[in-house]
Amino acid sequence: MVNFGDLQTEIYLAGLSGVVPSLPMSFADLERRAEQALPPGTWSYVAGGAGDEHTQRSNRTAFDHWGLVPRMLRARTDRDLSVELFGTTFPTPVFLAPIGVIGICTQDGHGDLATARASAATGVPMVASTLSQDPLEDVASELGETPGFFQLYCPTDPEVAASLVQRAEAAGYRGIVVTLDTWVTGWRPRDLATSNFPQLRGRCLATYFSDPVFRSRLEKSPEDDPGTAILTWATMFGRPLVWDDLAWLRSLTTLPMVVKGVCHPDDARRAVDEGIDGIYVSTHGGRQANGGLAAIDCLAEVAAAVPDVPVLFDSGVRSGSDVVKALALGATAVGIGRPYAYGAALAGTAGVVHVLRTILAEADLLMAVDGYPTIADLGPDAIRRT
Ligand SMILES: Cc1cc2nc3c(=O)[nH]c(=O)nc-3n(C[C@H](O)[C@H](O)[C@H](O)COP(=O)(O)O)c2cc1C
Ligand SMILES: O=C(O)C(=O)c1ccccc1
pLDDT in tens, 15-37: 999 999 999 999 999 999 999 99
Point out the ligand 1 atom lying closest to the alpha carbon of residue 318: 27
Ligand 2: residue of 153, 290, 314 to mutate (most ligand atoms within 8 A of CB) is: 153
Q: Whose CA is nearest to atom 4 of ligand 1?
A: 99
219 Cβ contact list (under 8 Å, min separation 6): 225, 228
211 Cβ contact list (under 8 Å, min separation 6): 160, 163, 164, 167
Average pLDDT over residues 167-194: 98
- Is it the case that residue 70 has pLDDT exceeding 60? yes
Banded model confidence at residue 5, pLDDT cuts 50, 70, 90: low
Point out the ligand 1 atom lying closest to the alpha carbon of residue 317: 27
178 Cβ contact list (under 8 Å, min separation 6): 151, 152, 154, 241, 249, 257, 258, 259, 260
Banded model confidence at residue 1, pLDDT cuts 50, 70, 90: very low
Average pLDDT over residues 214-234: 98
Average pLDDT over residues 331-354: 98
**Active-site amino acid positions:** 284
Pairing outcome for strands 88-90 and 83-85: antiparallel
> How far apart (Å, rounded) are the C-alpha atoms in residues 372 and 292?
32
Average pLDDT over residues 108-129: 98
* 230 Cα to the center of ligand 1, angstroms: 21
Q: Whose CA is nearest to atom 2 of ligand 1?
A: 99
Average pLDDT over residues 112-130: 98
> How far apart (Å, rounded) are the C-alpha atoms in residues 223 and 26?
42
Average pLDDT over residues 311-328: 98
Ligand 1: residue of 99, 318, 325 to mutate (most ligand atoms within 8 A of CB) is: 99
Return the biggest CA–CA distance within the chain. Answer: 70
Q: Minimum-distance ligand to the CA of 315? A: 1
Q: Minimum-distance ligand to the CA of 127? A: 1
Q: Is the CB of 314 under 6 A from ligand 1?
A: yes
- Is it the case that residue 2 has pLDDT exceeding 90? no
- Is it the case that residue 131 has pLDDT exceeding 50? yes
* 314 Cα to the center of ligand 1, angstroms: 9
pLDDT in tens, 195-206: 999 999 999 999
Q: Is the CB of 315 under 6 A from ligand 1?
A: yes
Point out the ligand 1 atom lying closest to the alpha carbon of residue 336: 27
> How far apart (Å, rounded) are the C-alpha atoms in residues 126 and 336?
10
Average pLDDT over residues 71-97: 97
**pTM, 2 dp:** 0.99
Q: Whose CA is nearest to atom 6 of ligand 1?
A: 99
239 Cβ contact list (under 8 Å, min separation 6): 154, 155, 156, 161, 183, 245
Closest CA to 64 of 325, 274, 340: 325
Q: Whose CA is nearest to atom 20 of ligand 1?
A: 285
The pLDDT of residue 3 is 59
Banded model confidence at residue 6, pLDDT cuts 50, 70, 90: confident
13 Cβ contact list (under 8 Å, min separation 6): none
The pLDDT of residue 375 is 96
Pairing outcome for strands 176-179 and 383-385: unpaired
pLDDT in tens, 358-367: 999 999 999 9
Report the pocket of ligand 2 as residue ranges, CB < 6 Å.
100, 131, 182, 185, 199, 284, 287
Which letter does DSSP use for residue 198 in this model? G
Q: Where are the beta strands (DSSP E) in 156-286?
A: 176-179, 257-260, 278-281
> How far apart (Å, rounded) are the C-alpha atoms in residues 74 and 208?
52
> How far apart (Å, rounded) are the C-alpha atoms in residues 72 and 9?
23
Q: What backbone phi and psi angles, to 5 degrees, belong to 177?
A: -105, 110
Q: Distance of CA 372 to CAs 3, 103, 143, 356, 386, Å?
A: 19, 37, 31, 20, 20
Query: Is residue 150 within 8 Å of residue 222, measured between CB atoms?
Result: no
The percent helix, strand, coil of the chain (3-state, each to 5) is 45, 10, 40
DSSP, residue by residue, 87-116: TEEESSSEEE---TTGGGTSTTS-HHHHHH
pLDDT in tens, 245-261: 999 999 999 999 999 99
Average pLDDT over the chain, rounded to an integer: 97
